Amino acid sequence: MAGSVGLPARVPRVGWMRSFRHGVLRARDRLREAASHVRRRWRQSLQLRVVTTTMLLGLAVVSVLGGGLHSQIASGLERDRIDESETEALNLTSQAQSYWDATTSTSVGELNQTASDIMSSILAAPGVEDPSRYVVMSRTPGNDSDILLVELVSPKNLVDTSVISDELQEAVAADPGRQQVQQTAITVEGKEVPAVIVGSVVQVPNAGPYSLFFIYPMEQEVATMDLIGNSFLVAGVILTLLVGGVAWVVTRQVVAPVRRASEVAQRLSAGRLNERMPARGEDDLALLATSFNGMADSLQHQIRQLEGLSAVQQRFVSDVSHELRTPLTTIRMAVDVIHDSRQRFDPATARSAELLAGELDRFEALLADLLEISRFDAGAAALDVETVDLRATVQQVVDAARPLAERRGSVVTVHAPELAVTADVDERRVERILRNLVVNAIEHGEGGPVDVYLGVGGGAVGVVVEDQGVGLRPGEAANVFTRFWRADPARARTTGGTGLGLSISLEDARLHNGWLQAWGEPGKGSRFRLTLPQHSGTTLHGSPVPLSPTET
Ligand SMILES: Nc1ncnc2c1ncn2[C@@H]1O[C@H](COP(=O)(O)OP(=O)(O)O)[C@@H](O)[C@H]1O
Ligand SMILES: [Mg+2]
């Protein structure tokens, strides 16, 4: 019961967590994909690299220049503002001093009245709401006169007098003949703005020295610098984009012909020897095109020459082989006659007749192989495809090789699957390949067992012929398919091969879009594997049987 209650509650939660985890994993994969895509683009595209680096460099230069210019303008504006403030403050102070000098007031009330008159008529700035300056009049520290005037602030209450530091007050008191300047920040309507404070002293009759502080907020300058800064920013962005655009256009001019050259080179290497680059103008790119075309011309010329030469050679081999056929037929008939009547000769002559017949067999085999090879070279070999069960083909080949195997003391075993191993092949050619492999295995198998394995799968059929004889030394697995190559030429006389068997077999396999591969270890034996696509026209991706015994 508890289980049945617990289960439905758990399932949705686990499901939700799983889908969340899936989502995260998918997002991570996407991100990785995108990153690798960008990395690939970066590596592949010269243009992208040039444009990006140029833009980054441009951005750096523009930032440094803009920053320097900005700070210079700012300090210039500030200096001007301070100079202006000092001049104005000096002027206003002297006006206030003359007013005091001319006054006849003596009582505290009268003096206070005069002070407020001075404040409103001379010192107060035009614009009450947003004045261009604030003025504070306060008793200078150290003034110990009995008459004490009230501190005045103009415009009233709009500025906090605490911004005037004690040091400034002391400095003004210490040197009444000089203006004192201080830069600070004040708060106007809740906003902090940099400001200049100019302080000086006026002598009030009967009341002693009083300090006048002129506070000039630099709102205007800040606004100007903001505007300049924004303009710089916009200009910088536009300039960087412009630089990037120029770099793009310029690299395009260089990269496009290079890309065209690589395309043409690719087509050339694919065998289209008539491809050339268009060469216009006299610049470096035209030079590249001209040299490229020159190289292509000379390559084409040499390839044509070689083609001609090898065509002549092939025709020569083919002609000679054909020419040899007729006299060989005659010789064959004569040798047969001699061979048949060898009992009537003395033993030495009879032996010669036997040798003659044997060598003639070899000669005929060689000639047949040569004719076959020249047919491949001339491109005259064609497939005669039909659907075949390879188990029957293998069995035929093995049966035919049985007399040879018995003579060598080898036992040939076929390991075939229960089911049919069908493939669309030219049976005559496949039989020739298999015969060659089986005969080779018996001849080089030193009397050991020979095993033939058959397999089918993955759209391919495979046959492996394995022996336990001399094997192949490292590097020989590739050489065995070379025409007339033999590991041990001295053995050829006893084995009777022509050295053309495997090269013909390879051509036959290739004609089927198939593989013929060799594996071997000295003293252990060799394995030869033939893999063919089950249906003609398809491409192989693997073989159903392993090439080396260690492979699975
Ligand atoms: N099963 C094998 N074991 C060892 N060596 C081999 C085997 N099959 C072929 N070879 C080597 O490859 C060479 C070329 O073989 P092939 O083309 O059939 O020519 P041939 O049999 O006429 O010598 C042989 O001479 C031999 O040295
Ligand atoms: Mg052979």
What share of the chain has pLDDT > 70, as a percent?
A: 94
Atom of ligand 1 nearest to the CA of 479: 12
Q: State the greatest distance between any 2 C-alpha atoms of the chain, in Å, as a whole number.
A: 175
Which range among 67-76, 139-148, 296-305, 537-546 shows the weakest confidence by mean pLDDT?
139-148
Mean pLDDT of 403-420: 95
Ligand 1: does its nearest atom lie under 6 Å from the Cβ of 244?
no
CA-proximal residue: ligand 1, atom 7 (nearest) = 440
pLDDT band (50, 70, 90) for residue 535: very high
Question: Mutate which of 433, 435, 440 to test ligand 1's pocket (most atoms within 8 Å of Cβ)?
Answer: 440
pTM for the whole structure: 0.56
What does DSSP assign to residue 120? I
Q: Which two tokens stand for residue 486?
A: 């033999």
Question: pLDDT tens digit string along 92-123?
Answer: 899 889 988 888 888 888 888 888 888 887 77
Determine the pLDDT at residue 12.
56
Question: pLDDT tens digit string along 206-236?
Answer: 888 999 999 998 888 899 999 999 999 999 9
Q: Is the dihedral of CA 255, 259, 264, 270 positive or negative?
A: positive
In 76-86, which positions are buried (b, 16+ CB within 10 angstroms) versus exposed (e)? ebbeebbeebb
Counting beta carbons within 10 angstroms of the beta carbon of residue 40, is it exposed (0 to 12), middle (13 to 18) or buried (19 or more)? Answer: exposed
C-alpha 405 – ligand 2 centre gap (Å): 14
User: Has residue 127 got a pLDDT over 70?
Assistant: no
Determine the pLDDT at residue 384.
92
User: Has residue 493 got a pLDDT over 60?
Assistant: no
Whole-number Å distance between alpha carbons of 317 and 376: 12
What does DSSP assign to residue 126? S
Question: pLDDT tens digit string along 310-350?
Answer: 889 888 988 998 899 999 999 999 999 999 999 999 999 99
Mean pLDDT of 447-454: 96
Q: Is 176:239 a contact under the CB 8 Å cutoff?
A: no
C-alpha 360 – ligand 2 centre gap (Å): 18
Determine the pLDDT at residue 3.
41
Q: What amino acid occupies position 137?
A: M
Tokens 């051509």 sit on residue:
507
- Extract the runs of DSSP E, i.e. beta strands, from 156-273: 180-188, 191-204, 208-217
Question: Mutate which of 502, 524, 526 to test ligand 1's pocket (most atoms within 8 Å of Cβ)?
Answer: 502
Ligand 1: does its nearest atom lie under 6 Å from the Cβ of 469?
yes
CA distances from 189 to 130, 161, 223, 367 (A): 10, 15, 16, 112
Q: In whole numbers, what is the pLDDT of the chain averaged over residues?
A: 89
Determine the pLDDT at residue 145.
83
Atom of ligand 1 nearest to the CA of 504: 17
Determine the pLDDT at residue 495.
63
User: Has residue 1 got a pLDDT over 50?
Assistant: no
C-alpha 485 – ligand 2 centre gap (Å): 11
Determine the pLDDT at residue 4.
44
Q: Which two tokens stand for residue 348?
A: 């030495």
CA-proximal residue: ligand 1, atom 12 (nearest) = 480
Mean pLDDT of 466-477: 93
Of 62 and 187, the one with more pLDDT? 62
User: Has residue 513 got a pLDDT over 50?
Assistant: yes
Determine the pLDDT at residue 158.
65
Determine the pLDDT at residue 11.
52
Cis peptide before 155 (omega within 30 of 0): yes
Determine the pLDDT at residue 129.
57
Atom of ligand 1 nearest to the CA of 491: 25
Q: Is 442:450 a contact under the CB 8 Å cutoff?
A: yes
Mean pLDDT of 139-144: 87
C-alpha 484 – ligand 2 centre gap (Å): 10
Ligand 1: does its nearest atom lie under 6 Å from the Cβ of 444?
yes
CA-proximal residue: ligand 1, atom 24 (nearest) = 486
Question: pLDDT tens digit string along 29-49?
Answer: 999 999 999 999 999 888 899
CA-proximal residue: ligand 1, atom 8 (nearest) = 440
In 425-461, which positions are buried (b, 16+ CB within 10 angstroms) versus exposed (e)? bbbebbbbbbbbbbbbbbbbbbebbbbbbbbbeeebb
Ligand nearest to the CA of 528: 1
Q: Is 300:264 a contact under the CB 8 Å cutoff?
A: no
Ligand nearest to the CA of 472: 1
pLDDT band (50, 70, 90) for residue 19: confident
Mean pLDDT of 407-412: 95
User: Has residue 453 got a pLDDT over 60?
Assistant: yes
User: Has residue 498 got a pLDDT over 90?
Assistant: no
Determine the pLDDT at residue 5.
44
C-alpha 460 – ligand 2 centre gap (Å): 25
Mean pLDDT of 457-468: 95
User: Has residue 128 got a pLDDT over 60?
Assistant: no
Mean pLDDT of 142-171: 82
Which stretch of DSSP H or E encloses residue 516? strand 515-521
Atom of ligand 1 nearest to the CA of 467: 1
Determine the pLDDT at residue 491.
65
